[in-house]
Amino acid sequence: IGFSPLSFLKKRVHHFPVSADFWIRQFLLLAEITEKDRIYTMNFANSLLGCLFVNFATDEAFMNKVSFENDLRIHRAISIIHSNYADSSLSIETIARNQKMSAVWFRKLFTKHMKITPKKYFDEYRLKVAASHIKSTTLYIKEISSSCGFSEVHYFHLRFKKHFSKTPLKYRKSRGGLI
C-alpha cells in the first residue's frame, strides 16, 4: 500500500474547523519536500495534527487566539507546554532552544501571536490544570501544586489566589469540589 498524503490527512482532519484545506495544502507541501522520507512526513503530520487536535479540543481560547497561518513553532511550543507543564525545570529558555530560537526572539514571536507572554501563558496553563485537579480530586493542595510544576507550595498559593481571587482550598469548597 503506497503512501498517499492527501488520504492520510483527509482521514485525520474531518473534525477540523473551517481551515482544514489550509492544513492539507501545508502537509502536501511538506510531503513533496520530504517525499524521500515518508516516515518523517507521517510522523511529523501525526504529531502536528495530534498537537492541534489536543490543544484545540481542550482550550477554546487557544483556538480563538492562534490563527491557522501562525508560525508552527508557536504551535510546537504550546504543545511542549501542555505536555510538560508538570516539569518544574522546564523554562522558556529551554522551549526556545527546542524551537531553535533565542529566548528573546521566542518571547517576541510568542507574544505577537498569542497576545500574552510565554511565561504568563505557561503559568496560567499550570493554574488552569491545578484548578481542574482541585475541583475533581481529593489530592492535597501540596500534591497538586507539585504535580502542576510548582516547586514551592507557597508560590503556588500566591499565584493561585492572585489568579482566582481565592485560596486553593476556598476554591475547592466554592466549586463543590471533593474535600
State pLDDT tens for residues 60-118: 555 445 444 347 888 889 999 999 999 989 999 999 999 888 999 999 989 988 899 99
How far is C-alpha 157 from the geometric centre of its chain's CA atoms? 23
Rounded Cα distance between 125 and 150, Å, is 12
**Is residue 4 over pLDDT 90?**
no
**pLDDT at residue 162, as a whole number:** 95
Instruction: Name which residue leads in pLDDT, 107 or 57.
Output: 107
pTM: 0.60
Cβ(144)–Cβ(133) below 8 Å:
yes
**pLDDT at residue 47, as a whole number:** 54
**Is residue 55 over pLDDT 50?**
no
C-alpha cell of 45?
A: 503530520
C-alpha cell of 67?
A: 490563527
- The residue assigned the cell 511538506 is 30
**Is residue 133 over pLDDT 60?**
yes
pLDDT digits over 22-47, tens only?
556 666 666 565 555 555 555 556 55
Cβ(110)–Cβ(102) below 8 Å:
no
* DSSP 8-state code for residue 89: T
**pLDDT at residue 1, as a whole number:** 44
**pLDDT at residue 174, as a whole number:** 87
The continuous run of DSSP H or E covering 131 comes out as: helix 118-136
**pLDDT at residue 49, as a whole number:** 59
Which amino acid makes up residue 94? T
**pLDDT at residue 179, as a whole number:** 56
C-alpha cell of 60?
A: 477554546
Sign, Cα dihedral of 168, 172, 63, 88: positive
Side-chain-side CA neighbours of 29 within 13 Å: the count stands at 6
**Is residue 157 over pLDDT 60?**
yes
Task: Read off the pLDDT band of 13 (50, 70, 90).
Answer: very low
Instruction: Name which residue leads in pLDDT, 41 or 143.
Output: 143
**pLDDT at residue 23, as a whole number:** 58
- The residue assigned the cell 501571536 is 113
